[in-house]
Amino acid sequence: AKPKVWVARPLFPDVLARLAEYVDVQAEAVERKHSAAELREKLAHVDGALIGLSDRIDAAVLEGNQRLKVVANLGVGYNNLDLDAMSKAGVLACNTPDVLTETVADYAWALMLAAARRMGAAERWLRAGHWATSRMRFDDWLGVDVHGRTLGILGMGRIGRAIARRAAGFDMRVIYHNRSRLPEAVERESGATLVGKPELLRQADHLLLVLPFTVANRHAIGAEELAQMKPSAVLVNIARGGIVDDAALAAALRDGKLAAAGLDVFEGEPVVHPDLLALDNVVLSPHIASASEDTRRSMARVAAENVIAALGCGEAAGKPPTPLNPAVMSHWATRKA
């Protein structure tokens, strides 16, 4: 019999068709977050799954599961996966790196420019009819410049480097902080200089957060960090909710300690902190940085190819393209049917 694969989110029909060449597909037709109990039940009866970032895979979900071999995450960040628990259970985890790097970097720039130039508030004002009925002044709607300023990047992975490369066209100085220094050749290509976190906070005119979410990175930007930033600075979070203390950020934006923010991710999303919703100097979007037509299709395809290959099918049988814990595969012969 063909392996069984659960697709937890509605997905592009051509990607489902590609999966169906090799596996029995059980595809959800409706978008929703699954509880641990639902995940446990669904995953007990399949060999593989494609899941969304709101589906959390941990030891409790996998307990007693003798069948599941592979879970492909529809995204590059994988803080929803407990990799240790998955490895212990012999389950391969895969994500979707690389294919979304440039699209997410584009979006980081879109949010930075929109927040710096007050595009969200200006559009709301125009749509409300105020332009025609008020006398807009020469000194209304003043934003902060992006070109010629200092761009700070916290977290310098593939996406951080793609953001940095774009800064050359804006004549920006680029500084970054990262756990480790980039190789010299990569630093040169990115045009970026390593600084300590305090310098990054103090010097950045525009601070972009591109960190993975880990326990250590929770509230990497909180009240204390925000207090070190320039009152004229713009903060952009395209990484994960929880890296920023959203309540502290809202307070800083309200009190004039920060000029503006652009946020694509939130603590507790899809619910957004009411204090952020009440502010005009923040541009908000619903976690869509990777959502271009081409890139979301590529992400779905990469997830599908990982599952197909992990289940021993297709041209790349046994060699999934982007595994996170590939060592588990060497135990499959003995542990799983």
Q: Is there a catalytic annotation at residue 147?
A: no
Q: Is there a catalytic annotation at residue 34?
A: no
Size of site (CB under 6 A) for ligand GLV = 12
45-64 footprint of ligand GLV as x/- string (CB under 6 A): --------x-----------
Q: Is there a catalytic annotation at residue 118?
A: no
Handedness of CA 138, 257, 198, 241 (dihedral sign): negative
290 in contact with ligand GLV (CB under 6 A): yes
What kind and span of H or E run contains 17?
helix 13-20
Residue in 191, 212, 222, 326 binding ligand GLV, rule: CB under 6 A: 212
Catalytic residue chosen out of the listed positions 240, 273, 296, 305: 240
CB of 266 to ligand GLV, least distance (A): 12
Q: Which is nearer to ligand GLV, 23 or 103 (CB)?
A: 103
A 10 A CB-CB count for 332 gives 16
A 10 A CB-CB count for 163 gives 30
Handedness of CA 7, 13, 19, 24 (dihedral sign): positive
72-111 footprint of ligand GLV as x/- string (CB under 6 A): ---xxx-------------------x--xx----------
CB-based contact 258:227 (threshold 8 Å): no
**Cα–Cα distance for residue pair 63/70, rounded to 1 Å:** 15
DSSP string, 232-282: T-EEEE-S-TTSB-HHHHHHHHHTTSSSEEEES--TTTTS--HHHHT-SSE
A 10 A CB-CB count for 219 gives 15
Residue number closest to ligand GLV, CB atom: 157
157 in contact with ligand GLV (CB under 6 A): yes
Residue in 57, 110, 159, 172 binding ligand GLV, rule: CB under 6 A: 159
Catalytic residue chosen out of the listed positions 149, 177, 287, 296: 287
Residues contributing to the site for ligand GLV (CB under 6 A): 53, 75-77, 97, 100-101, 157-159, 212, 290
